[in-house]
Amino acid sequence: MLAAPPNAIPRRPRRGETHADHRARTASCTLLIAALLAGCAAANAPAPATGQAARAAECQEKGGWWHTGVGDGFCEYQMQGGGSM
């Protein structure tokens, strides 16, 4: 903990407040500020691509075949095991 300068005036506790109360309030304010800053940083993140080209690329990365011309497009996967019954 940092040492206070010799000429510093100590903070007087409020009526009924203990040192632990002051530390708890300081900790909760610190967490609130950190959460607000994290929320602002996340708000500036770019939105993920959700167009047909992005969905086609995701389909092909997962081993599927992208079909255009049917509705908005769809991804077809090959089932494992051959498919004979």
* pLDDT surpasses 60 at 20: yes
CA 45, 28, 18 angle in degrees (round to 5)? 170
- The pLDDT value recorded for residue 42 is 63
Contact 5, 14 (CB under 8 A): no
Q: What is the mean pLDDT of residues 64-79?
A: 84
Q: What is the mean pLDDT of residues 60-78?
A: 85
Find tokens 């632990």 and name the residue.
Answer: 20
In angstroms, the CA 75 to CA 64 distance is 6
Q: What is the pLDDT of residues 44-62, one digit of tens each?
A: 666 666 788 888 898 899 8
Q: In Å, how far from its chain's centre is CA 42?
A: 6
Query: Nearest-CA neighbor of 64 among 53, 79, 75?
Result: 75
Q: Which of 24-33, 36-45, 65-74 has the lowest mean pLDDT?
A: 36-45
Query: Is the model's pTM score more than 0.85?
Result: no
